[in-house]
Amino acid sequence: MTMDNTQKKECKALSGLISPEEIEAARFCISYGISSGASMMRVSLSKSVLDSFSMLNGEMDKVAHSADRSLFLYIFADGRYGTFSTNDFSRSKLSLFISKALDTVRMLAPDPCRKLPDAGRKAKDAATGTELHLYDPEYQELTPERRLKKAMDSSIFKTLAPVQEYTVISEECEYSDSVDDNIVIDSEGFFGRHTETSFAICSEVTIQDAGGRKLSGYWWDSAPYFSRLDISGCSKAALGKAIEKIGPKRHSGGSFRMVVDRSVSSRLISPVISALNGAAIQQKNSFLEGTLGEKVFSGNLTLLDLARTDGKPGARIFDTEGVATKDCPVIENGRVNMYFINTYIAGKTGMQPTVEGVSRPVIRPFILDGGTTGSDRGCLSEEFEINLPDILRLCGSGIYVTGFNGGNCNPVTGDFSYGIEGFAFKNGKITHPIREMVVTGNMVRLWNDVIAAGTDARECTRWQIPTLAFDKADFSA
């Protein structure tokens, strides 16, 4: 039986980057390792390709192509454990490499907590890698000419007319696309594959205002499918963000309501997610240690992990151990619902294993009609929209943060200090840009003061964190 051209094309589209020969090489590692004395093994095989075309002031500046292939071996032998990697797939080299790896593992200290996950926890529905529809077959049809045209079409530098308020100094645009293919196999029969494509455009525009100050604006967009990538407004948005910064004014320090733009709001949930990591908890390096099942944050805060959302960035069926993901609440109405506990940390702590980490975190939208004392309106769909103007009106006056410039959060205490830039707003309207301010506080207290989360998280991001508002935050000039 022979395939027609359509069937051949479909077969090719589903194949990703990893060849059947490379899959057999991964299986060989398992069989050779077990026959040579390993008690258990897991192999992770990854391949990726990245192409990018960069424009500078409307002219081609740089073209880049990179490809990567790696084979990671997780070897369990005699109660000991080690990880090793190679990119040489020849059988003779792999045999020698595995033999030496086993010798090394046997010299390590025993660790009874190292083992493969229980079979019942592993995914059973990731055979092709395309189950979540994150792979675009059109990727295989892209030519250098089409990529170049996408980069050139994104540039607006040569179309800009002179204005009195500012001079455009430079415009840097980059179009890029990539494909990533990953296969995980273990000695207990698990096989999982994840294949995805990504197409992205980014632009940075630098201007000089009438006073000679240089200001920059940045914007980007991405999509898992080539046809969904919108390049039309990227450079215009970057230019607009630079123009917005003209004429900054000094602002006094104090305690103000804080609105955080959707493009940078993930910075404030990231320390919370990190504090839920099992390794941080086991090492007592987490401000959320001992809070499982407790209400720690505002009852308005619900953080979901929508790991299996079809066709959306960040979705995955299994983690690096092969453990099946699922859609679930991580924090529900302020209560800590789960930690991210892999098999090893579960053995070390006695806690129930979950998954190794978050896949696609989503903050459930809500807004308080009357501020901190008013009734709240929750929203889980597009039936009710909560956008930036809504949130500014709710807050009245305060600081609208559009960028973070350095700073850190103490993982043990949750205390943070970040440099910020953005705007002052009054009566729900932006008044003027501000620069060189610092916001300080504590993550637990901050998230107890959350009063709004929008419906405007950017579709192109893996972390679906929208515009946020907090009742009070401490700023210094």
Among 211, 243, 275, residue at a domain's last position: 243
192 and 314 assigned to the same domain? no
Residues 47 and 159 in one domain: yes
Out of 203, 224, 243, pick the residue that ends a domain: 243
Q: What is the pLDDT of residue 371?
A: 44
> Nearest CA to 138 among 90, 94, 198, 186?
198
What digits encode the pLDDT tens for the residues 330-375? 999 999 999 999 999 999 999 999 999 999 999 999 998 754 433 4
Q: 31: buried, middle or exposed (CB in 10 Å: 19+, 13-18, 0-12)?
A: exposed
- Residue range(s) defining the domain that contains residue 96: 5-243
Q: Which residue stretches of the chain have pLDDT < 70? A: 1-15, 370-383
User: What does the block give as tokens for 188?
Assistant: 């207990």
Whether 124 and 168 share a structural domain: yes
81 and 107 in contact (C-beta within 8 Å)?
A: no
Please give the tally of structural domains in the chain. Answer: 2
Residue 305 and residue 420 in one domain:
yes
- 212 and 65 in a common domain: yes
Rounded to whole angstroms, the Cα distance separating 62 from 200 reads 16
For residue 19, what pLDDT is reported?
A: 95
The answer to the question of residue 248 being in a domain is: no
Give me the half-sphere count of Cα atoms (radius 13 Å) on the Cβ side of residue 241: 23
Helices (H) and strands (E) in the chain, counts: 10, 18
Per-residue three-class SS string for the chain:
CCCCHHHHHHHHHHHCCCCHHHHHHHHHHHHHHHHCCCCEEEEEEEEEEEEEEEEECCEEEEEEEEEEEEEEEEEEECCEEEEEEECCCCHHHHHHHHHHHHHHHCCCCCCCCCCCCCHHHECCCCCCCCCCCCCCHHHHHCCHHHHHHHHHHHCCHHHCCCCCCEEEEEEEEEEEEEEEEEEEEECCCCEEEEEEEEEEEEEEEEEEECCCCEEEEEEEEEECCHHHCCCCCHHHHHHHHHHCCCCCCCCCCEEEEEEECCCCCHHHHHHHHHHCEHHHHHCCCCCCCCCCCCECCCCCCCEEECCCCCCCCCCCCECCCCEECCCEEEEECCEECCCECCHHHHHHHCCCCCCCCCCCEEECCEEECCHHHCCEEECCCCCCCCCHHHHHHHHCCEEEEEEEEEEEECCCCCEEEEEEEEEEEECCEEEEEEEEEEEEEEHHHHHHCEEEECCCCCCCCCCECCCEEEEEEEEEC
What distance in Å separates the CA atoms of residue 320 and residue 106, rounded to the nearest whole number?
Answer: 24
Please state, in angstroms and rounded to a whole number, the distance separating the CA atoms of residues 325 and 304.
13
Instruction: In whole angstroms, give the CA distance from residue 213 to residue 129.
Output: 50
Tell me what pLDDT residue 435 has: 85
Beta bridge partners, 260, equal 401, 468
CATH number at residue 60: 3.30.2290.10
Q: Is residue 200 part of a domain?
A: yes
Judge if 229 and 364 occupy the same domain. Answer: no
* Cα–Cα distance measured from residue 130 to residue 477, given in angstroms and rounded to the nearest whole number: 50
- Tens digits of per-residue pLDDT, 192-208? 999 999 999 999 999 99
**How far is CA 188 from each of CA 30, 122, 184, 286, 344, rounded to the nearest angstrom?**
10, 10, 12, 34, 17
Can you say how many angstroms the Cα of residue 66 is from the centroid of all Cα atoms in its chain? 21
One domain for residues 300 and 195: no
Q: Evaluate whether residue 104 is within a structural domain.
A: yes
Question: With contact defined as beta carbons under 8 Å apart, do 339 and 276 qualify?
Answer: yes
In a domain, 214, yes or no: yes
Instruction: Please check whether residues 214 and 322 belong to one and the same domain.
Output: no
Across the strands, what pairs with 424?
399, 432
* 291 shares its domain with 220: no
Asked if residue 219 and residue 263 are part of one domain, the reply reads no
Cα separation, 200 vs 37, whole angstroms: 46
Strand partners, 415: 442
- Asked if the structure places residue 348 within a domain, the reply is yes
How many residues are given for the chain?
A: 477
Instruction: Quote the pTM value.
Output: 0.91
Clarify whether residues 239 and 313 are in a common domain: no
Angle, in degrees to the nearest 10, between helices 91-105 and 20-35? 40
Residue type, 269: I
Does residue 249 fall inside a structural domain?
no
- Structure confidence at residue 384 (pLDDT): 77
CB 292 within 8 A of CB 281: no
Q: Which ranges constitute the DSSP H helices of 112-257?
A: 144-154, 234-243
Domain final position from 224, 243, 262: 243
pLDDT given at position 368: 86
Tell me if 169 is assigned to some domain: yes
Q: Are residues 235 and 309 in the same domain?
A: no
